[in-house]
Homo-oligomer: A and B are copies of this chain.
Amino acid sequence: MKGLDLGRPTLDDALAGLLVSALLLPQSLAYALLAGLPPLAGVMASLLPLLAYALIGSSTTLAVGPVAVLALMIGEAVGRLGPAHGVGPMTVALVLAAEVGLLLLLTALLRLDALGALLSSPVMQGFVSGSALAIAYGQLVPLLGLQWAPSSPWPQLDALTAGFGLAALLLLVLARQFGAGALRALGLAPARAQMLARMVPLLLVGLAIAAVAWLQGRGQAGALPLAGRIALDEVHGPASLAAAPLALWRAALPTALMVALVGYVSSLGVAQGLGARRQERVLPRRELLGLAAANGVAALSGGMPIAGSFSRSGLVAEAGARTRWTGIFMALAFAFWISLGARWLALLPQAVLAATIIVAVLPMAEWQPLRRAWRYSRAEGLLMGGVTLAVPLLGVEMALGLGVLGSVALLLQRTARPHWAEVGRIPGTELFRNTKRFAVELLPGVLAIRIDEGLRFTNAHWVRDLLCEEAAGRPQLRHLVLMMSGVNEIDLSGLEALQQLALELRSQGRQLHLSELKGPVADRLYAAGLEDWLPGRVFRTQMDAWHALMAAPGEPASHWVSP
């Protein structure tokens, strides 16, 4: 199998793997907690799934593992389905991972990857922005140790927690903004400075653990919420999956569908976006198989559902990885950190993890795409903004569902009211253009109209009524020529509308002609007996129609120019 050919590992791959593992360590714990799962669910999603993707996937930059947006979706499902089916959060997560893997596999086998198109660009971008906002806002609670007293609407913060959280946030932001510059000022080579600055999350983890250990030694750690034990001896094996009740599998399916869709589309987007810059081809079907395998392995080895991470994949590309060995090195380095420090990682304050999450997700909530979308298309801008707001207000699944429905409704609406133009000849040329945009010549008794859309059920009646109306307003009209260069398809409803139009015009002693028919459209019209119902002619070009109708008997040969 072509996917298994990983090429030769390079030193760059090993370094990139090591580098990104420094970010993966806190993120894997943080996203597990975000999803309402024990930290182990994030750890196990960061080991074997990486190997599975490296063997089967196609992108050299995509860093798979726990990701924030999926964690949010998983968290909603865990909170809803766990109590309803009397199972623990881990069981829900594993069932979801298994279903996501199977759905992606099915999609690959049935070649349904086109379904990814359902998540249009504005919906996906709005969804990611909205998720980022919802996540960042939600993380304020663990970051500051907020607690609400029963009597007051205002929360109180816990000083120790907030101290850890804000300090971590400050360190991460400063390191991102000034880290590399400061290290270069200390005399390091730019590449090495950049790399060391990227290791700050690991430094942060070490510092925070040391601080907590010190405080605990002095009995001053109090009720500071910690990540908790990474119970490597309690890994959920396939037995947990087998014990899940059937009703849970059924109830989790809608969420699994959405997780699979979002995971696939966002991963493919990240992989293609990064791949384009390095002239790397990303193969959608291979990505489907790679993500399917990774999720399946996660389900069997006690990990939460996975996808490609925005932040870590960007880091992989930046670090100069060359082959998919990077993922394997990343998993190895991650295993090293975990085996070394599992005992100590339990001491990591949740506030520090919250800071990690906030720093990772906030860059995904961009204002710029919304502005661009609004400028390009009001409707699509509204859709994007609506989905962004719907995530925190209505929840992830509702937001996604409304987004997909909105995209489809917008498409239907656009095809329902197509652009059309009366066209005339630009004098001295063979070009026929909109009379409202160009100074053109017209033929007396002839109306030429270009419809800029396939004739389909959404617009068939409207187009027929429009043309009848236009014809009715011109008592001198003898010939109506439809210029079909923009008509890419005529469905059955469209065909009937054309036939009705021809009939109505004929009853008024007028003729309907067609010009510039596209090959496939013409084939089907002729196969359905075009000659039987079209009273007029089919012209290869609008110019042919011009020549033929200019010499129409009984008409003055002169023509006039419109403004």
Contacts and interface: CB of A to CB of B under 8 A. Distances in A.
B419 A412 contact: no
Contact of A419 (B377, B518, B528): B518
Which size class do A's interface residues fall under? 35 or more
A191 interface: no
Contacts of A120: 457, 491-493
Nearest to A469: B281
Contacts of A434: 519
A76 interface: no
A431 B542 CA distance: 11
From DSSP, what is the main secondary structure of chain A's interface residues? Answer: helix
B116 A457 contact: no
A329 B492 CA distance: 38
Interface string A15-46: 00000000000000000000000000000000
Assembly stoichiometry (copies): 2
Interface stretch (A243-251, A482-490, A552-560): A482-490
B507 A437 contact: no
A208 interface: no
A411 interface: yes
A456 interface: yes
Contacts of A419: 488, 518, 520
A112 to B, nearest CB: 11
Contacts of A472: 281
Nearest to A433: B519
A272 B19 CA distance: 71
B377 A524 contact: yes
Contacts of A415: 411
Contacts of A518: 419, 452, 486
Contacts of A519: 421, 434, 437
A415 to B, nearest CB: 7
A279 interface: yes
Interface in A481-515: 485-486, 488-489, 491-493, 495-496, 500, 503-504, 507-508
B277 A122 contact: no
Given A452-B518, A518-B486, A508 B279 contact: yes
A377 B414 contact: no
A493 B459 CA distance: 23
Contacts of A284: 461, 465
A430 interface: yes
B421 A121 contact: no
Contacts of A411: 411-412, 415, 456-458, 491
A187 B287 CA distance: 82
A465 B284 CA distance: 10
A444 interface: no
Nearest to A114: B416
A437 B528 CA distance: 20
A458 B520 CA distance: 20
A411 to B, nearest CB: 6
Contact of A457 (B373, B376, B407, B421): B407
Nearest to A283: B465
Contacts of A437: 519
17 contacts: A117-B459, A121-B457, A121-B460, A121-B493, A122-B492, A284-B465, A372-B528, A373-B492, A377-B492, A377-B524, A407-B457, A410-B491, A411-B412, A411-B491, A414-B489, A419-B488, A486-B518
Given A121-B492, A373-B492, 9 more contacts: A117-B416, A117-B457, A121-B457, A375-B528, A384-B492, A431-B541, A434-B519, A452-B518, A485-B485
